[in-house]
A = this chain, B = another copy of it.
């Protein structure tokens, strides 16, 4: 979610629903589900996202333990390339997240505009890092 502002600054919004501990749905888990949908394999999805298989598996397991129906179903017997599939319940979760993200972008426009307008002249954002403070 990015909207280009003055001087080429393109703030991005980050939206997450938190239930407690690791039980949270945000852009990381949703992008992983979308990658599994594309790749039909947890290991290929993990590779595509630059994360370890173990981490991908843990994120999926966290979701599968939260919900009545699993979000991903693994088929260990099958050949790589169709060894996992996103369930209808997982697909609904992704669609609901992306829709909320779109609406949040509109809901946060005034905030983003306020931030962009207040930036120093010639402001250049530093390179993004993963996981830090809010």
Which residues of A (7-47) have their CB < 8 Å from a CB of B? 9, 11-29
Residue in B11, B19, B107, B126 whose beta carbon sits within 8 Å of that of A11 in the complex: B19
Enumerate chain B residues within 8 angstroms of A89, measured Cβ to Cβ. 118
- C-alpha gap A70/B90 in the complex (Å): 44
| CB atoms of B13 and A119 under 8 A apart | no
| CB atoms of B22 and A132 under 8 A apart | yes
Enumerate chain B residues within 8 angstroms of A48, measured Cβ to Cβ. none
Closest B residue to A112 using CB positions: B17
Smallest CB separation, A126 vs chain B (Å): 3
Smallest CB separation, A117 vs chain B (Å): 9
Enumerate chain B residues within 8 angstroms of A106, measured Cβ to Cβ. 107
Contacts A92-B114, A118-B69, A131-B131 given; indicate if A126 touches B20 (C-beta within 8 A): yes
Smallest CB separation, A8 vs chain B (Å): 11
Enumerate chain B residues within 8 angstroms of A112, measured Cβ to Cβ. 17
- Does A77 belong to the interface (CB within 8 Å)? no
Enumerate chain B residues within 8 angstroms of A111, measured Cβ to Cβ. 17, 25, 96-97, 99-100
| CB atoms of B22 and A67 under 8 A apart | no
| CB atoms of B9 and A14 under 8 A apart | no
| CB atoms of B100 and A110 under 8 A apart | yes
